[in-house]
Amino acid sequence: MFVPCGDADTDLSGFTLLMPAVSVGNVGQLATDLIISTLNMCKIGYFYTDCLVPMVGNNPYATAEENAAELSTNAEVYSLRSKKLVVLQLRSVFIKYKSVSFCEKLLGWVRSSGCARVIVLSSSHSYQRNDKQLCGTPFRYLLTPSMPKTVQNKMNSLNWKEMERSPCIPEIEDSDLCVRVPGGGITKLLYDESCSRDIQMAVLLKFVSEGDNIPDALGLVEYLNEWLQIIKPRLQGDDTTASPLPWKIPSSWRLLFGSGLPPALF
């Protein structure tokens, strides 16, 4: 499934794997773009799989004409050894009935590669929140039982809210409670499989609506940064003329909403 690029170092023992779920608003994927671009991460390989719709494009993180023509595919792996961080970016949707197979192969690769834990960035339909979820922050988290207690303590110290359990059958209030992530793509499947396989996984998500989801992505990546401290937040007394956003916007975002209206129309 994983194919390394050239002579790239693919020893991922003890690394944290960060990946998006293809979910409402593509918020997880946009947040992952910000991390790869900001940290200038190196591509170490890609996933060769029949579970995703095939696609190919130019380098989404191009910084000059020299690297703009590099090709990108539907599932690529980036690494930053100094932070022991590896990122899987997904750029296309799943082929029908193939998501289960993908999750099984992905978690098998996590085991074989020696990754210590997995963090999934996701989103959920804001209009399908229950009464409890309408109050307070729009961010939520989930942890598998195998996550160390220290992680739960960290979440508590940050005053984060765990994803509430909802009736498995929404129309029946006294049915068993379970995790529901409407619009979350493979989020729940990955979480359930990780629970059964004793894999350390954290899910960070935001309730969103479709539209311009760049602010949602920035919010989600800041939420992640509260925990992992991927980049240091600006402190009082820092250069006030610097950009208030420490995240580097990828060059590919210039075409996020298309290339605009052709002048010939007017």
| Superfamily classification of domain 9-41+94-229 | PAC-like subunit (3.40.50.10900)
Q: Where are the domains of the chain?
A: 9-41+94-229
Q: Is the dihedral of CA 240, 244, 249, 253 positive or negative?
A: negative
pLDDT at res. 240:
53
Name the strand (E) or helix (H) holding 211. none
Measure the CA–CA gap between 133 and 125, rounded to whole angstroms. 11
Strand 117-125 and strand 201-208: pairing?
parallel
Question: Distance between CA 229 and CA 211 in Å, rounded?
Answer: 28
Calculate the CA 155 to chain-centre distance: 18
What pLDDT shows up at residue 252? 87
At 8 the three-state DSSP class reads coil
What amino acid is encoded at 92 in this protein?
A: S
What is the helix, strand, coil percentage profile of the chain, to 5?
30, 25, 45
Cα 108 vs. chain centroid, distance in angstroms? 19
Residue 107 pLDDT: 95
Residue at token pair 């060059």: 251
In DSSP terms, which residues pair with 3 in a beta bridge? 46
**pLDDT string in tens for the chain (266-residue length):** 889 888 878 889 999 999 999 999 999 999 999 999 999 999 999 999 999 999 999 999 988 888 888 889 999 999 999 999 999 999 999 999 999 999 999 999 999 999 999 999 999 999 998 888 888 899 999 999 999 999 999 999 999 999 988 877 766 767 778 888 999 999 999 999 999 999 999 999 999 999 999 999 999 999 999 999 998 866 555 555 555 568 999 988 887 777 777 778 77
Contact yes or no for 103/190 (Cβ under 8 A):
yes
pLDDT the model gives residue 76? 96
For residue 218, how many other CB atoms are within 10 A of its CB? Answer: 17
Decide: 35 and 230 in contact? Cβ < 8 Å.
yes
Q: What is the pLDDT of residue 208?
A: 96
Query: Which residues, 6+ apart, have CB-to-CB distance to 117 below 8 Å?
Result: 16, 17, 147, 199, 200, 201, 202
Under a CB-based contact definition with an 8 Å cutoff, are residues 72 and 58 in contact?
yes
Instruction: Tell me which residue of 71, 66, 177 sits closest to 132, measured CA to CA.
Output: 177
**First-to-last C-alpha distance (Å) of the chain:** 50
Given this model, what pLDDT does residue 234 score? 62
The span from the CA of 138 to the CA of 124, in Å, is 10
Q: List the structure tokens of 94.
A: 């799943």
Give the single-character DSSP code of 179: -
Q: Which residues are paired to 124 by β-bridges?
A: 207
* pTM confidence score: 0.90
What are 21's two structure tokens? 């779920």
In this structure, are strands 16-20 and 2-4 parallel, antiparallel, or unpaired? unpaired
